[in-house]
Amino acid sequence: MQFADFDAAVFLKDYWQQKPMLIRSAWHDWSNPVDPDELAGLACEPLVESRIITRRDHDWELEHGPVREDRFASAGRDPWTLLVQSVDHHMPQVAQLLEPFRFVPNWRVDDVMVSYAVDGGGVGAHFDHYDVFLVQGLGRRRWEIGAMCDDDTPLLAHDGLRLLADFQASESWILEPGDMLYVPPRLAHRGTAVGDDCMTYSIGFRAPSRAELIEAWADEMVPDLADSDRYTDPGLPAQDNPGEINADALARLQEMIAQSLFDQTRFARWFGQFNTAPKNPEIDWRPEEPLTDADIRDGLEAGMALVRNPASRFAFVREAPGSLLLFADGHCFACKADTSTFAEQICADSMFVVTPDASDAVIELIGLLMNAGSLAFDYAD
């Protein structure tokens, strides 16, 4: 699927993380990728994250999946919504929705959440800490936009939902199949199904918090720090008041932390692995028996394409001209020369063909990725 009329450069300059953007008929020949029955079946799977949110009078009820197979048949008249996370990791046709959004770096992409709602169904007024594109797949949904929010914005008292206590809409639109709405971070919004069989695809982007980064980076660093590496203060001058922690001591203490945390080379390697750690490692593409270099060359000679596991995450960091670090599912691979070119292709394309005369180094890298379940041959034909 491709956009019908969308200027990515204008969007990034004028809208990204600034203001909402409504795009009518955003896609060429829109076709809903998943029907409601398929989505319901996926929600019943034990390893798939799903929720049902029901509005009962003035209260909100939250049920976590896996959903019982008879749950939908017993649904009452109260408006309800089914939410299924990471559908792109399970259904290739949904993963294809991500391709037109590659103007945003891959490392920022989270997943595609799909919702199904009956008339009046929704999840209530809320805000997210990340960017989201809301693609109307089936039926109609009214979207209302409110004010910018922050950590002090009042929320309703609810254990599992972060809903706004007071929502005042400033704009409102009804989206038809193929329409799309971009909502920047922290902007209040509310979606309500207008009629039954309403399906929406929410393409969300990752935005790690400062606290998350500091905690995870510190966890990485601490095991390698020696207990003997301690504070020193040679030439200590006498103080007028022994109770003071003076500016010189504070500077020395902070420098001890800074010297360890500001290792840019190590941070790049750590973040690549941290960011590409699989969200759904249970989606396992590893072959039953490890593939050999000969197996891989045979597949390439047969003209078979390589395809990325849709649940896998790929990224790279350049080290120097002609060399880079490839990250896949939390693993790091040092690449030079032709393996660097191959690594860039992996990160750019979800499916591609490699010539049978590829170097031994490229074949070895393909084998490592295929045996780890990150890549596979395309057997569709």
pLDDT in tens, 302-341: 999 999 999 999 999 999 888 999 999 999 999 999 999 9
SS3 85: coil
- List of domains in the chain: 8-205 (2.60.120.650), 210-229+247-262 (no CATH), 293-377 (3.40.366.30)
Q: What is the pTM of this model?
A: 0.91
Task: Give percent above pLDDT 90 in the chain.
Answer: 87
Cβ within 8 Å of residue 190, ≥6 positions away: 122, 124, 125, 126, 143, 144, 146, 167, 169
pLDDT tens-place string over residues 13-60: 999 999 999 999 999 889 999 999 999 999 999 999 999 999 988 789
CA angle 44, 46, 52 (to 5 degrees): 50
Which alpha helices (DSSP H) does the chain contain, by range?
A: 8-14, 36-43, 92-95, 210-221, 247-261, 264-276, 293-301, 338-348, 360-371
